Structure 1
Protein backbone atom coordinates (compact mmCIF):
# COMPACT_ATOMS: atom_id res chain seq x y z
CA UNK A 1 0.00 0.00 0.00
CA UNK A 2 1.31 3.45 -0.98
CA UNK A 3 0.21 7.01 -0.26
CA UNK A 4 -0.12 9.59 -3.03
CA UNK A 5 -0.68 13.34 -3.16
CA UNK A 6 -2.50 14.15 -6.42
CA UNK A 7 -3.71 17.39 -7.98
CA UNK A 8 -6.61 17.96 -10.35
CA UNK A 9 -7.04 17.96 -13.24
CA UNK A 10 -5.87 14.35 -13.12
CA UNK A 11 -4.02 12.72 -15.97
CA UNK A 12 -4.28 9.09 -16.97
CA UNK A 13 -0.77 8.42 -15.63
CA UNK A 14 -1.88 9.76 -12.22
CA UNK A 15 -4.54 7.10 -11.85
CA UNK A 16 -2.87 4.18 -13.64
CA UNK A 17 -0.20 3.98 -10.93
CA UNK A 18 -2.82 3.57 -8.19
CA UNK A 19 -3.79 0.12 -6.90
CA UNK A 20 -6.71 -0.88 -4.74
CA UNK A 21 -5.86 -0.15 -1.12
CA UNK A 22 -3.60 2.84 -1.80
CA UNK A 23 -4.29 6.08 0.07
CA UNK A 24 -4.79 9.35 -1.81
CA UNK A 25 -4.89 12.98 -0.73
CA UNK A 26 -6.37 15.21 -3.43
CA UNK A 27 -5.81 18.93 -4.04
CA UNK A 28 -7.32 21.18 -6.69
CA UNK A 29 -10.88 21.35 -7.99
CA UNK A 30 -13.50 18.74 -7.09
CA UNK A 31 -17.11 18.80 -8.33
CA UNK A 32 -19.95 17.47 -6.20
CA UNK A 33 -22.62 15.51 -8.07
CA UNK A 34 -25.43 13.30 -6.84
CA UNK A 35 -28.35 11.66 -8.64
CA UNK A 36 -30.02 14.79 -10.04
CA UNK A 37 -26.75 16.34 -11.20
CA UNK A 38 -25.75 13.12 -12.98
CA UNK A 39 -29.15 12.97 -14.69
CA UNK A 40 -28.85 16.63 -15.74
CA UNK A 41 -25.34 16.11 -17.15
CA UNK A 42 -26.59 13.15 -19.20
CA UNK A 43 -29.61 15.15 -20.45
CA UNK A 44 -27.35 17.96 -21.64
CA UNK A 45 -25.01 15.41 -23.25
CA UNK A 46 -27.96 13.85 -25.11
CA UNK A 47 -28.85 17.31 -26.46
CA UNK A 48 -25.18 18.02 -27.33
CA UNK A 49 -25.24 21.05 -25.03
CA UNK A 50 -22.09 22.23 -23.32
CA UNK A 51 -21.68 21.88 -19.56
CA UNK A 52 -20.93 25.01 -17.50
CA UNK A 53 -17.88 23.23 -16.01
CA UNK A 54 -15.03 21.17 -17.41
CA UNK A 55 -14.91 17.44 -16.59
CA UNK A 56 -11.59 16.86 -18.40
CA UNK A 57 -9.44 15.08 -15.80
CA UNK A 58 -12.04 15.85 -13.16
CA UNK A 59 -12.80 14.37 -9.78
CA UNK A 60 -16.51 13.98 -9.02
CA UNK A 61 -17.47 13.78 -5.36
CA UNK A 62 -20.72 12.00 -4.53
CA UNK A 63 -21.78 14.50 -1.91
CA UNK A 64 -24.74 16.68 -0.97
CA UNK A 65 -23.01 19.38 1.06
CA UNK A 66 -24.51 21.73 3.60
CA UNK A 67 -23.46 25.24 2.62
CA UNK A 68 -23.76 28.61 4.34
CA UNK A 69 -23.80 31.90 2.45
CA UNK A 70 -21.92 34.68 4.22
CA UNK A 71 -22.11 38.03 2.43
CA UNK A 72 -21.46 37.01 -1.19
CA UNK A 73 -19.48 33.85 -0.51
CA UNK A 74 -20.47 30.25 0.15
CA UNK A 75 -18.77 28.20 2.85
CA UNK A 76 -19.02 24.44 3.38
CA UNK A 77 -20.36 23.49 6.83
CA UNK A 78 -20.60 19.73 6.19
CA UNK A 79 -19.51 17.84 3.10
CA UNK A 80 -19.53 14.12 3.80
CA UNK A 81 -19.82 11.47 1.11
CA UNK A 82 -23.10 9.95 0.03
CA UNK A 83 -23.69 6.37 -1.11
CA UNK A 84 -22.10 6.04 -4.54
CA UNK A 85 -23.94 2.94 -5.72
CA UNK A 86 -26.94 5.12 -6.65
CA UNK A 87 -24.86 6.68 -9.43
CA UNK A 88 -23.50 3.36 -10.77
CA UNK A 89 -26.08 2.97 -13.55
CA UNK A 90 -25.36 6.49 -14.89
CA UNK A 91 -21.57 6.25 -14.69
CA UNK A 92 -20.88 4.23 -17.90
CA UNK A 93 -22.68 6.81 -20.04
CA UNK A 94 -20.96 9.67 -18.18
CA UNK A 95 -17.53 8.15 -18.81
CA UNK A 96 -18.29 7.60 -22.52
CA UNK A 97 -18.49 11.36 -23.03
CA UNK A 98 -16.27 12.81 -20.29
CA UNK A 99 -12.74 11.97 -19.13
CA UNK A 100 -13.54 11.99 -15.42
CA UNK A 101 -10.54 10.40 -13.71
CA UNK A 102 -11.80 9.95 -10.14
CA UNK A 103 -15.12 9.25 -8.47
CA UNK A 104 -15.27 9.83 -4.72
CA UNK A 105 -17.92 8.55 -2.34
CA UNK A 106 -18.78 5.86 0.15
CA UNK A 107 -19.81 2.25 -0.11
CA UNK A 108 -18.40 1.40 -3.53
CA UNK A 109 -20.18 1.01 -6.86
CA UNK A 110 -21.30 -2.51 -7.58
CA UNK A 111 -20.48 -3.88 -11.04
CA UNK A 112 -18.58 -0.80 -12.19
CA UNK A 113 -14.95 -2.04 -12.12
CA UNK A 114 -14.97 -2.98 -15.81
CA UNK A 115 -16.29 0.44 -16.79
CA UNK A 116 -13.54 2.20 -14.83
CA UNK A 117 -10.77 0.01 -16.24
CA UNK A 118 -8.00 2.08 -17.86
CA UNK A 119 -10.06 5.29 -17.38
CA UNK A 120 -10.95 6.17 -13.84
CA UNK A 121 -10.65 5.19 -10.17
CA UNK A 122 -13.14 5.06 -7.32
CA UNK A 123 -11.86 6.67 -4.12
CA UNK A 124 -13.67 5.77 -0.92
CA UNK A 125 -14.12 8.38 1.78
CA UNK A 126 -15.25 7.35 5.24
CA UNK A 127 -18.86 8.16 6.04
CA UNK A 128 -19.50 10.30 9.10
CA UNK A 129 -16.57 12.62 8.35
CA UNK A 130 -18.60 15.57 7.02
CA UNK A 131 -16.84 18.16 9.21
CA UNK A 132 -13.39 16.75 8.36
CA UNK A 133 -14.23 16.93 4.65
CA UNK A 134 -15.50 20.51 4.99
CA UNK A 135 -12.19 21.45 6.64
CA UNK A 136 -10.32 20.45 3.46
CA UNK A 137 -12.46 22.77 1.33
CA UNK A 138 -10.51 26.00 1.01
CA UNK A 139 -12.93 27.79 -1.29
CA UNK A 140 -16.31 27.33 -2.94
CA UNK A 141 -15.53 28.59 -6.43
CA UNK A 142 -19.01 28.29 -7.91
CA UNK A 143 -22.37 26.58 -7.75
CA UNK A 144 -24.00 25.21 -10.90
CA UNK A 145 -27.69 24.39 -11.24
CA UNK A 146 -28.81 25.74 -7.84
CA UNK A 147 -32.39 25.13 -9.00
CA UNK A 148 -31.76 21.43 -8.24
CA UNK A 149 -31.48 22.29 -4.52
CA UNK A 150 -28.46 22.58 -2.26
CA UNK A 151 -27.58 18.86 -2.01
CA UNK A 152 -28.21 18.16 -5.71
CA UNK A 153 -26.50 21.19 -7.24
CA UNK A 154 -22.97 20.88 -8.59
CA UNK A 155 -20.58 22.65 -6.24
CA UNK A 156 -17.16 23.53 -7.60
CA UNK A 157 -14.83 23.15 -4.63
CA UNK A 158 -11.19 24.05 -4.24
CA UNK A 159 -9.71 21.45 -1.89
CA UNK A 160 -6.36 20.96 -0.22
CA UNK A 161 -5.18 17.50 0.90
CA UNK A 162 -8.74 16.20 0.70
CA UNK A 163 -8.75 12.78 2.32
CA UNK A 164 -7.60 10.31 3.30
CA UNK A 165 -9.23 8.57 0.36
CA UNK A 166 -8.76 4.84 -0.19
CA UNK A 167 -8.57 3.47 -3.73
CA UNK A 168 -11.60 1.19 -3.57
CA UNK A 169 -11.67 0.37 -7.28
CA UNK A 170 -8.54 0.90 -9.33
CA UNK A 171 -8.13 1.35 -13.09
CA UNK A 172 -6.95 -2.27 -13.41
CA UNK A 173 -10.28 -3.90 -12.48
CA UNK A 174 -9.51 -4.53 -8.79
CA UNK A 175 -12.50 -3.83 -6.54
CA UNK A 176 -12.03 -4.00 -2.76
CA UNK A 177 -15.78 -3.90 -2.18
CA UNK A 178 -16.40 -6.87 -4.50
CA UNK A 179 -13.64 -8.83 -2.78
CA UNK A 180 -15.25 -8.18 0.63
CA UNK A 181 -18.68 -9.21 -0.73
CA UNK A 182 -17.26 -12.48 -2.12
CA UNK A 183 -15.35 -13.26 1.09
CA UNK A 184 -18.45 -12.59 3.19
CA UNK A 185 -20.58 -14.80 0.95
CA UNK A 186 -18.00 -17.60 1.08
CA UNK A 187 -17.80 -17.34 4.88
CA UNK A 188 -21.60 -17.42 5.14
CA UNK A 189 -21.82 -20.47 2.86
CA UNK A 190 -19.21 -22.30 4.95
CA UNK A 191 -21.24 -21.67 8.11
CA UNK A 192 -24.29 -23.34 6.63
Structure 2
Protein backbone atom coordinates (compact mmCIF):
# COMPACT_ATOMS: atom_id res chain seq x y z
CA UNK A 1 0.00 0.00 0.00
CA UNK A 2 1.36 3.38 -0.96
CA UNK A 3 1.69 6.38 1.34
CA UNK A 4 -1.08 8.16 -0.58
CA UNK A 5 -3.45 5.23 0.01
CA UNK A 6 -2.44 5.08 3.66
CA UNK A 7 -3.15 8.80 4.08
CA UNK A 8 -6.55 8.42 2.40
CA UNK A 9 -7.37 5.47 4.62
CA UNK A 10 -6.46 7.51 7.71
CA UNK A 11 -8.77 10.32 6.63
CA UNK A 12 -11.60 7.88 5.86
CA UNK A 13 -11.19 6.30 9.30
CA UNK A 14 -11.35 9.76 10.84
CA UNK A 15 -14.59 10.55 8.98
CA UNK A 16 -16.03 7.20 9.98
CA UNK A 17 -15.04 7.71 13.63
CA UNK A 18 -16.69 11.14 13.75
CA UNK A 19 -19.76 9.82 11.92
CA UNK A 20 -20.50 6.82 14.17
CA UNK A 21 -18.86 7.87 17.44
CA UNK A 22 -15.88 6.50 19.33
CA UNK A 23 -17.67 3.55 20.98
CA UNK A 24 -19.21 2.23 17.77
CA UNK A 25 -15.98 2.83 15.85
CA UNK A 26 -13.86 0.92 18.36
CA UNK A 27 -16.39 -1.94 18.46
CA UNK A 28 -16.85 -2.45 14.73
CA UNK A 29 -14.17 -0.64 12.74
CA UNK A 30 -10.95 -0.51 14.79
CA UNK A 31 -9.67 -3.80 13.35
CA UNK A 32 -10.64 -3.07 9.75
CA UNK A 33 -7.66 -2.74 7.39
CA UNK A 34 -7.31 -1.36 3.89
CA UNK A 35 -6.15 -4.06 1.49
CA UNK A 36 -6.24 -2.18 -1.82
CA UNK A 37 -7.85 0.53 -3.91
CA UNK A 38 -8.52 -0.42 -7.52
CA UNK A 39 -10.29 1.91 -9.94
CA UNK A 40 -13.82 2.32 -8.56
CA UNK A 41 -13.61 -0.19 -5.71
CA UNK A 42 -12.00 -0.33 -2.29
CA UNK A 43 -11.06 -3.63 -0.67
CA UNK A 44 -11.13 -3.74 3.14
CA UNK A 45 -10.55 -6.68 5.46
CA UNK A 46 -11.67 -7.64 8.96
CA UNK A 47 -10.55 -10.51 11.20
CA UNK A 48 -13.90 -12.32 11.60
CA UNK A 49 -16.93 -13.31 9.53
CA UNK A 50 -19.17 -11.78 12.17
CA UNK A 51 -17.56 -8.35 11.78
CA UNK A 52 -17.85 -8.64 8.01
CA UNK A 53 -21.55 -9.52 8.19
CA UNK A 54 -22.34 -6.82 10.74
CA UNK A 55 -20.52 -4.09 8.84
CA UNK A 56 -22.13 -5.09 5.55
CA UNK A 57 -25.60 -5.24 7.09
CA UNK A 58 -25.45 -2.08 9.19
CA UNK A 59 -22.70 0.22 7.94
CA UNK A 60 -22.01 -0.51 4.26
CA UNK A 61 -23.57 2.73 3.00
CA UNK A 62 -21.82 4.82 5.64
CA UNK A 63 -18.42 3.32 4.80
CA UNK A 64 -19.05 3.94 1.10
CA UNK A 65 -20.10 7.54 1.81
CA UNK A 66 -16.91 8.16 3.80
CA UNK A 67 -14.82 6.78 0.92
CA UNK A 68 -16.71 8.83 -1.65
CA UNK A 69 -15.99 12.00 0.34
CA UNK A 70 -12.29 11.18 -0.08
CA UNK A 71 -12.46 9.64 -3.58
CA UNK A 72 -15.64 10.47 -5.53
CA UNK A 73 -14.87 7.81 -8.16
CA UNK A 74 -15.33 4.97 -5.63
CA UNK A 75 -18.65 3.20 -6.17
CA UNK A 76 -18.04 -0.05 -4.34
CA UNK A 77 -16.53 -1.17 -1.03
CA UNK A 78 -15.74 -4.87 -0.60
CA UNK A 79 -15.20 -6.29 2.87
CA UNK A 80 -13.41 -9.63 3.18
CA UNK A 81 -12.27 -11.78 6.07
CA UNK A 82 -8.54 -11.98 6.69
CA UNK A 83 -7.43 -15.56 7.01
CA UNK A 84 -5.45 -16.71 10.02
CA UNK A 85 -2.65 -18.35 8.09
CA UNK A 86 0.39 -19.57 9.91
CA UNK A 87 3.51 -17.59 9.16
CA UNK A 88 6.91 -19.14 9.60
CA UNK A 89 7.99 -16.66 12.24
CA UNK A 90 11.17 -17.28 14.18
CA UNK A 91 10.43 -18.65 17.60
CA UNK A 92 12.42 -18.65 20.78
CA UNK A 93 12.00 -21.20 23.51
CA UNK A 94 10.94 -19.99 26.93
CA UNK A 95 11.06 -22.47 29.77
CA UNK A 96 8.78 -21.93 32.71
CA UNK A 97 9.60 -23.48 36.07
CA UNK A 98 7.67 -26.35 37.54
CA UNK A 99 6.25 -25.32 40.86
CA UNK A 100 4.47 -27.33 43.48
CA UNK A 101 1.87 -25.75 45.66
CA UNK A 102 -0.45 -26.82 48.39
CA UNK A 103 -4.17 -26.42 48.03
CA UNK A 104 -7.25 -27.81 49.64
CA UNK A 105 -8.94 -30.69 47.91
CA UNK A 106 -12.68 -31.13 47.57
CA UNK A 107 -12.93 -32.91 50.88
CA UNK A 108 -11.14 -30.09 52.75
CA UNK A 109 -7.88 -32.01 53.18
CA UNK A 110 -4.64 -30.59 51.79
CA UNK A 111 -3.63 -32.01 48.45
CA UNK A 112 -0.52 -31.56 46.38
CA UNK A 113 -0.98 -30.17 42.95
CA UNK A 114 1.84 -29.82 40.49
CA UNK A 115 1.69 -27.05 37.99
CA UNK A 116 4.03 -27.70 35.13
CA UNK A 117 4.42 -25.53 32.13
CA UNK A 118 6.43 -27.00 29.33
CA UNK A 119 8.62 -25.10 26.95
CA UNK A 120 6.37 -22.82 24.94
CA UNK A 121 7.36 -21.30 21.63
CA UNK A 122 7.01 -17.54 21.70
CA UNK A 123 6.69 -15.74 18.41
CA UNK A 124 9.34 -13.14 17.73
CA UNK A 125 6.73 -10.96 16.08
CA UNK A 126 3.28 -10.09 17.37
CA UNK A 127 1.80 -10.74 13.96
CA UNK A 128 2.68 -14.45 13.75
CA UNK A 129 -0.97 -15.20 13.08
CA UNK A 130 -3.27 -12.90 11.18
CA UNK A 131 -6.85 -12.48 12.25
CA UNK A 132 -8.27 -11.65 15.62
CA UNK A 133 -5.83 -10.32 18.16
CA UNK A 134 -5.04 -12.63 21.05
CA UNK A 135 -5.12 -11.62 24.69
CA UNK A 136 -1.46 -11.71 25.79
CA UNK A 137 -2.47 -12.63 29.35
CA UNK A 138 -4.07 -15.89 28.24
CA UNK A 139 -1.15 -18.14 27.39
CA UNK A 140 -0.20 -21.71 28.08
CA UNK A 141 2.35 -20.27 30.50
CA UNK A 142 -0.40 -18.92 32.73
CA UNK A 143 -2.71 -21.92 32.34
CA UNK A 144 -3.05 -24.04 35.49
CA UNK A 145 -3.15 -27.72 34.58
CA UNK A 146 -5.01 -30.03 36.91
CA UNK A 147 -6.69 -33.42 36.83
CA UNK A 148 -9.90 -31.96 35.49
CA UNK A 149 -8.42 -30.20 32.48
CA UNK A 150 -5.35 -32.19 31.41
CA UNK A 151 -7.02 -33.53 28.27
CA UNK A 152 -8.34 -30.10 27.24
CA UNK A 153 -4.89 -28.56 27.83
CA UNK A 154 -3.14 -31.23 25.75
CA UNK A 155 -5.62 -30.91 22.87
CA UNK A 156 -5.44 -27.11 22.87
CA UNK A 157 -1.62 -27.19 22.82
CA UNK A 158 -1.65 -29.66 19.94
CA UNK A 159 -3.89 -27.35 17.91
CA UNK A 160 -1.98 -24.19 18.83
CA UNK A 161 1.45 -25.63 18.16
CA UNK A 162 0.58 -27.28 14.86
CA UNK A 163 3.10 -26.55 12.16
CA UNK A 164 2.44 -25.79 8.51
CA UNK A 165 2.12 -29.05 6.64
CA UNK A 166 1.26 -31.11 9.73
CA UNK A 167 -1.90 -33.18 9.64
CA UNK A 168 -4.73 -31.30 11.33
CA UNK A 169 -5.60 -33.26 14.46
CA UNK A 170 -8.53 -31.38 15.96
CA UNK A 171 -10.25 -28.86 13.76
CA UNK A 172 -12.51 -27.53 14.98
CA UNK A 173 -11.73 -28.17 18.63
CA UNK A 174 -14.74 -27.88 20.93
CA UNK A 175 -14.26 -27.82 24.68
CA UNK A 176 -17.35 -27.64 26.86
CA UNK A 177 -17.62 -27.66 30.61
CA UNK A 178 -19.91 -26.49 33.34
CA UNK A 179 -18.89 -23.38 35.19
The two structures have a TM-score, normalised by structure 1, of 0.21
Q: Relative contact order: is structure 1 or structure 2 higher (C-alpha 8 Å, sep ≥ 6)?
A: 1
Structure with the higher fraction of residues in strand conformation: 1
Task: Compare CA radii of gyration and give the structure with the larger one.
Answer: 2
Normalising by the residue count of structure 2, what TM-score does the alignment of the two structures yield?
A: 0.21
